[in-house]
Structure 1
Amino acid sequence: LPHTQVLAMRSRDGLEHRVFVARPHGKPPSPAGWPLIVLTDANAAFATFAEVVALRSRRTEVTGVVPAVVVGLGYPTDEPLDLVRRTFDYTPAPRGPLTMPPRPDDSAWPPVGGADAFLDFVAGDVLPAIGRDFPLDPVRRTLFGHSFGGLFTLYTLFTRPGLFRTYVAASPSIWFADRVVLSHERDFVAALRPGNDLRLLITMGGCEQEPTAVEIDGTDVEVRAAWKRRNRMVDNAREMAARLAPLAGCGLTVDYVEFRDEDHVSVVPAAIARAVTLALGRPLRSNP
């Protein structure tokens, strides 16, 4: 893509990462510097995210969206997803014995529980490197993640809330390890005090908990249906948003958006579009 670059970076454990960077044009939209959006699963989603930001920020006076630095966290592969490494990097360590549901294809789960080390890499290596190349507005930082990346986004909010201001958890895998992220949610809520200025957007596809029409026609419909119903993707997300919504008085603004006719994969572009509006612009329709 034009105006983008890919950086090879190594974390402190010696593993190589690809960090995708989209450079904005012109001058920063404020004296404080450029807004920053960081997203997970960059091999799959960076191009879409960068193009959406570039297109919508061309005429801020019409779209309301300002330019930003877009940074994607990816891996040294030409595949859209590194399923083994993302599973480890995006998941928190279990509290107690690990309990995981059988995967639909009956394959073994790869290692899990590396979210803290990955957060150390993001906070200690990626963000400082980007900050050396761009003046960054410290209060306009957004983290976006989908699926396990959405779980990672929630975990980051709950354990290191000052790292970003805006958090977008798209289709978060709250079910992981007997919903271990809920214990971190409780710790976060107990420690939250007035004076914060944090925003959380949880998005979900309306078809993520029941078999889609395509899955119903498949040979493994019962397996897929059991997987979806056991994981309660939609219910878990709705319930978390409802629990956190009353915290506006402590400086956490929570929104929940469900895209009715989308499934776990098709919902990604819609989630990206809504994330860009929240992070860089304003709603297109005024509230009555």
Structure 2
Amino acid sequence: MLRFATTMLLVALSGFGVQPAQAQSVTAETVKEARKVESFDLRADRMGQDYRVFLVRPAEAPPPGGYPVIYLLDGNATVPMMEKVIGPNPPEPYGSAVIVGIGYPIDGPFDILRRYRDLTPPTPPEFIPPSRDGTSVIETGGRDDFLTFVETQVIPAVETRLPIDPQRRTLFGHSLGGLFSLYVLYTKGDLFQTYVAADPAIWWSGQAILREQAAFLERSKGKGVPPGTALLIETSGKLVERPLPPADAERLKHLRSGQTGREVAATLATVPGLQLAFHDFAEESHGSMLPLAVADTLRFAFGRSPD
């Protein structure tokens, strides 16, 4: 398991512009001494498919109220990134963080097609972008089933294994995962206390998330959000276009137009009681910002501003 975690660290970081040489200081032995990385598979009751849950146990004893916990979507990629940030000898208070990655039973960092389905609302065909390979069928509409899986199976599985503080849960997502993170805040905001939406795909399905946002804003008038609710939105500044036929490239550009995380953050600044932070990675792309956003998530989960 430790060899797997270290291998995944190198794979995940190299996929986002960080060279393996930069990660070589974290070896299997140093991880072993500091924190315990394990994984287990869960079959989702509603979808009938297996997911891989990555669980990082702190070396230190739990605080009086239980460990704070950070749930990372795309866990195959993001858990190794987070462990790189925490390191073998984490400074206080980061060593007390339980890290949970929700991923897939695969060897690579991402299961692109399954994450499309798990993180999106039902999407009309005219709003579905061209697939990366030009032939795969993109299925959508599984976000409510996935949210139920997280709430009723993943969280209980973690909390039966470790003493967790249920008032210190953080959810991180990037891209479609960032969109999902906002959806959870808007519709079931008491499930987590801290949310991070890294470059959220606000454009998805004709910006359908803005309807849930409007309903959230209406419900929040006067009463605000549950005490202690915090949200970090981060965006990237450099566009890296994937190679597509001209017609597909133009269509994708049109689909991705409209509001971004920046405009959403400005709108949510009016929500009473919401502890809101915004950070723009002006010199980073959608992909290269991911390990930086993961690092910011650790700091934000402990009440500290992103760098």
Q: TM-score range by the shorter chain?
A: 0.7 to 0.9
Counterpart amino acid of 1:180?
A
Question: How many residues are matched?
Answer: 269
Cα distance, 1:122 vs structure 2: 0.5
Q: How big is each residue's C-alpha offset from its partner over 1:202-253, in whole Å with a ceiling of 9 and x where there is no partner?
A: 1111114xx57xx7xx7868965763464147x4211100000121xx2212
Who is 1:241 aligned against?
Answer: 265
Aligned-residue CA RMSD (Å): 2.4
Alignment of 1:231 with 2:264, yes or no, is no
Which one of the candidate residues 91, 96, 103 is aligned to 1:59?
91
Which one of the candidate residues 84, 96, 106 is aligned to 2:113?
84
Which one of the candidate residues 33, 45, 50 is aligned to 2:66?
33
Matches of 2:277 and 2:186, distance apart in 1? 16
Counterpart amino acid of 1:266?
S
Q: Secondary structure at the match of 1:261?
A: strand
Matches of 1:16 and 1:41, distance apart in 2? 14
Q: Secondary structure at the match of 1:254?
A: strand
Cα distance, 1:138 vs structure 2: 1.6
Q: Secondary structure at the match of 1:117?
A: helix
Matches of 1:20 and 1:31, distance apart in 2? 24
Matches of 2:79 and 2:225, distance apart in 1? 33
Matches of 1:26 and 1:171, distance apart in 2? 33
Q: Closer, same or farther in 2 for the Cα pair 1:135/1:102, shift >3 Å?
A: closer
Who is 1:202 aligned against?
Answer: 233
Q: Closer, same or farther in 2 for the Cα pair 1:105/1:85, shift >3 Å?
A: closer
Cα distance, 1:190 vs structure 2: 1.3
Q: Closer, same or farther in 2 for the Cα pair 1:220/1:260, shift >3 Å?
A: farther
Which one of the candidate residues 145, 148, 163 is aligned to 2:191?
163
Name the % identity: 37
Conserved 8 A contact 1:99-1:178 = no
Who is 1:19 aligned against?
Answer: 53
Which one of the candidate residues 133, 142, 148 is aligned to 1:114?
142
Uncovered stretches (5+) of structure 1, i.e. residues with no partner: none
Q: How big is each residue's C-alpha offset from its partner over 1:30-69, in whole Å with a ceiling of 9 and x where there is no partner?
A: 31110000011111221111232345x6221xxx535211
Who is 1:257 aligned against?
Answer: 279
More divergent stretch after superposition (222-231 vs 258-267): 222-231
Conserved 8 A contact 1:53-1:67 = no
Q: What is the TM-score with the length of structure 1 in the denominator?
A: 0.85
Which one of the candidate residues 124, 138, 142 is aligned to 2:152?
124
Alignment of 1:175 with 2:203, yes or no, is yes
Q: What is the TM-score with the length of structure 2 in the denominator?
A: 0.80
Alignment of 1:152 with 2:180, yes or no, is yes
